[in-house]
Each structure stands twice: as C-alpha cells, then as structure tokens.
C-alpha cells in the first residue's frame, strides 16, 4: 500500500524497498483547458545547481542514460519520468521535479486555478505504488511554477522530499534558482504599413576589403595560415582583455581577474603536453615542443597582454594544438573581460577571435584548434566553448592527459 506523505516529509525509497532501481515518477493535475502545463526535472549537484544546461530534462531534452521524460495518460498521470537509480552518476545528488504554466504571467494564469496536483513514485518492476504526495492543501495564489518534490541521495540511499514550493515568473525563475541562464526572446515590433518603393539612389562604391585582418565570427569558422618563402615562420598568439576594477561599496572587493593563456599540444610522434603559467610549464621555442609562453599578466593592465609563440618552421612536428584560457583568480565574469585573441604571422593578415560568447558559470574557455595541414600550413578553427576546468576540457577534445592540482 502506498505511503501518503505531506509537505516537508522525507521518506526512504531504496532503504524501504531492497534492490529498488527502476522507478516511475508520475505527475498529475486538473486545470482549465486553456492552461498549458509543462513538467521538468533538474539534475543537481551537491551545491543544488545544474552543472550544464543539458541537466534540465523536459520535452525538448527528454532523456539521458538514466532518466526519460514522456507524456502519459496512464493511472491518471499527465506526465511521467522513467528512471534507473543505479545508473545515476555520483555527481548528481538531487533530482527536482517541477511544473510550470507556459506564459502564465502574460496570460494571467496561476496555480491558484489548478486542482488535484500530485506526484507519486512507483516501483516500475512490480507496478507497486510506493508513495504519493497530494498538494491539495498547498495554498497557491499567483505562482506560475512549482517545485513539487525531489529525489535526493543520502548515505548511498535514495529518499524523497515532499517540497510543494511555488515561484513567480515561471520556468525562468526555476532555471535561475537552479543555475541555468535563460535568454528571453526579443519582442517583435509591429510591422509598418507597406510604403511605395523609393527610387533607388546611385550605387555607392564598394568599400575596400581589409586584407590585414580576418575575424573568425562563428564557431567552426576556419582559415589556413599563409605560407611564404617555403616556411611559416613564427606564429604569435596574443590574448588581451580589459579588467574593470570594482570601485567602492562596502561589500565590493577591488580584485582583478587573472586571465591565463595556455595550450594543449599533440605532436606527430604521439607526445602530448601542456603549456601554461600554472605549474611554470612555459615551454620552449627552439626545442620540443617548439611552443613557448612569454609570461603571465596577472592584472590585465599590461598593454601587450599574454603571448604564446609557435615555431612554424617546425610544422612537421605538430599534429594539433588547442589554445585556451582560464580564470585562475577572480570572479568568472567573461562578459566583463572583453577578451580578444589575435593570431599574427609575418606577411599574413591578423586572425581575430573575440570571446563574445559567455558562460559565467565556467572558468575555462577553449578558444581555437590549430591543426597541421599536410605538413604545409596550419589551420585555425574558432571554438569559444566553455568548460569547468582542465579535466572537462581534456575529455571534450580527447587529449588523454592525467591531471593534478597545480599553483603558480
């Protein structure tokens, strides 16, 4: 017989049912036909936040290896999540289940008009309902989002917590609460009345193309370096940024961001390594790996920024290089750093990569992939993709290095 729980009650699941692994989370309600209700599950770490946007499970991102969202009309449920508890990674400590009203604020709709809301947990293998939480006695007024309940891990066992907390501002408020940035779509201005076509003016002369600078604007944009006089020469990778200092305020600290330039390298003979100030791995331009880092700008005030140099005359030694940067100290506010990377080559145009896509939740940014092209030149590909740290970056690009914490 199912246990009926009340708001705030915590209940053992795997401790109560030995060997429990496959469960169904069923969610049901009754509401006006014009209401559009959506269900979501947030996969949370020990800090109560998601680690990436993909940790939001809903109709547009319905499944992982251990949880699947689906619409359902069985046993009164409107929505269900099928889960395998034994497959949930150890990094996930909680799974919060929520319900939101689509465009509730704009339409003047709220959970005050929703009745018979519940969440239940069922043993998928036996079909037995283990517990049920009715939210009938929860007094909602203007809320457009509700965290109904959560599964959480405690001492290796899974438990259920009956929450029943409401939020205003719908899904956006939930995402903000759990660490996901939501960008609202701009409101389209009304289309003007069609006007008679004006007489076209005299064509203006086409502006001259700037051959001294090429900007890689989108992820995946790629260009090859120019090869002159049979050699590539020295390639300079420059990182510069503007560190805005905090000015005053009782709770504000006047500390700058330490933005470090670095690269992973892989040589033709299979050797792999890392060039960065952290750990004093500055490399060498005249001997393997033929890559060197000039120094470490700790403030952002040095006009020349940080420089990474690549000996292009040794191109036959290189297979690929991953140029990246990370915030060693300071708050991760990429959006305020105005980072720009310039790749310079004698006789060739400057290649610009602006760090104009931001993820302030992550402290490391992969900037560009540099690859050997038939031992003749190097290709530069824009990435601008953010990661939690060295280990996640390594895995994303399959470098296969072993990592341990270092310091300057």
The highest-confidence range among 216-220, 295-299, 398-402, by mean pLDDT, is 398-402
| Residue entry with tokens 């960065």 | 276
CB 289 within 8 A of CB 271: yes
Neighbouring residues of 271: CB distance < 8 A, sequence distance ≥ 6: 288, 289
Pairing of strands 222-224, 377-387: antiparallel
pLDDT tens digits for range 170-181 = 888 888 888 887
**For residues 112 and 16, what is the distance between their CA atoms, to the nearest angstrom?**
35
* Helix, strand, coil in percent for the chain, rounding step 5: 10, 40, 50
Give the tokens for residue 70. 């689906």
Q: What pLDDT does residue 400 have?
A: 93
Residue 118's DSSP bridge partners are 28, 134
Is the pLDDT score of 262 beyond 90? Answer: yes
Which range (134-143, 244-253, 282-291) has the least confidence? Answer: 244-253
Instruction: Give the rounded distance of the alpha carbon of 355 from its chain centre.
Output: 15
Q: What pLDDT does residue 69 have?
A: 92
Q: What pLDDT does residue 68 have?
A: 93
Q: What pLDDT does residue 193 have?
A: 62
Pairing of strands 37-44, 56-57: antiparallel
Confidence grade of residue 26 (pLDDT, cut at 50, 70, 90):
very high
Q: Which domains does the chain have, with CATH numbers?
A: 3-182 (2.60.60.30), 212-245+255-397 (2.60.60.30)
Instruction: Give the rounded distance of the alpha carbon of 285 from its chain centre.
Output: 35
Residue 323's DSSP bridge partners are 263, 368
- Could you give the 3-state DSSP secondary structure of residue 87? helix
Neighbouring residues of 224: CB distance < 8 A, sequence distance ≥ 6: 373, 377, 378, 379, 380
CB 377 within 8 A of CB 224: yes
pLDDT tens digits for range 329-377 = 655 678 777 889 999 988 788 899 999 888 878 889 999 999 999 988 8
Q: What pLDDT does residue 238 have?
A: 92
Phi, psi of 142 (to 5 degrees): -105, 10
Q: Read off the pTM.
A: 0.48
CB 273 within 8 A of CB 289: yes
Q: What pLDDT does residue 330 have?
A: 59
**For residues 281 and 296, what is the distance between their CA atoms, to the nearest angstrom?**
11
Phi, psi of 71 (to 5 degrees): -70, 145
CB 307 within 8 A of CB 294: yes
CA distances to 35, 300, 329, 348 from 309, in Å: 60, 19, 24, 16
Give the tokens for residue 241. 């940024």
CA distances to 77, 174, 221 from 71, in Å: 9, 21, 39
Read off the pLDDT of each residue in 228-238 and give the average, rounded to a whole number.
Answer: 83
């Amino acid at each position: 017989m199912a246990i009926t729980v009340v708001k705030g009650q915590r209940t053992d699941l795997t401790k109560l049912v030995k060997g429990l692994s496959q469960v169904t989370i069923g969610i049901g309600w009754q509401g006006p036909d014009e209401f559009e209700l959506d269900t979501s599950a947030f996969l949370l770490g020990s800090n109560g936040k998601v680690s990436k946007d993909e940790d939001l499970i809903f109709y547009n991102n319905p499944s992982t290896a251990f949880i699947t969202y689906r619409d359902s009309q069985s046993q009164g449920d409107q929505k269900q999540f099928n889960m395998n508890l034994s497959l949930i990674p150890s990094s996930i400590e909680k799974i919060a289940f929520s319900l939101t009203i689509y465009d509730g604020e704009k339409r003047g709709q709220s959970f005050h008009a929703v009745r018979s809301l519940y969440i239940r947990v069922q043993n998928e293998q036996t079909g037995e309902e283990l517990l049920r939480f009715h939210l009938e006695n929860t007094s909602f007024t203007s809320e457009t989002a509700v965290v109904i309940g959560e599964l959480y891990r405690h001492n290796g066992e899974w438990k259920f917590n009956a929450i029943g907390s409401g939020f205003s501002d719908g899904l956006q408020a939930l995402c903000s609460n759990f660490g996901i940035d939501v960008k609202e779509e701009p409101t389209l201005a009304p289309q003007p009345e069609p006007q008679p076509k004006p007489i076209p003016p005299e064509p203006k002369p086409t502006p001259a193309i700037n051959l001294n600078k090429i900007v890689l604007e989108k992820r995946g944009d790629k260009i090859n370096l120019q090869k002159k006089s049979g050699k590539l020469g020295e390639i300079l990778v420059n990182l510069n940024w503007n560190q805005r200092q905090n000015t005053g305020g009782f709770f504000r600290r006047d500390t700058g961001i330490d933005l470090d330039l670095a690269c992973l390298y892989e040589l033709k003979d299979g050797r792999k390594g890392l060039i960065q100030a952290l750990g004093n791995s500055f490399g060498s331009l005249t001997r393997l790996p033929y890559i060197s880092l000039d120094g470490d700008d700790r403030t952002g005030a040095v006009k020349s920024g940080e420089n990474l140099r690549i000996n292009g005359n040794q191109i036959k030694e290189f297979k690929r290089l991953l140029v990246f940067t990370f915030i060693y100290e300071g708050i991760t506010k990429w959006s305020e750093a105005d980072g720009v990377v310039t790749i310079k080559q004698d006789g060739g145009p400057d290649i610009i990569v602006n760090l104009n896509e931001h993820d302030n939740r992550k402290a490391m940014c992969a900037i560009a992939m540099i690859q050997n092209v038939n031992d003749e030149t190097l290709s530069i590909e824009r990435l601008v993709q953010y990661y939690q740290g060295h280990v996640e970056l390594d895995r994303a690009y399959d470098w296969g290095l072993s990592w341990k914490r270092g310091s300057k």
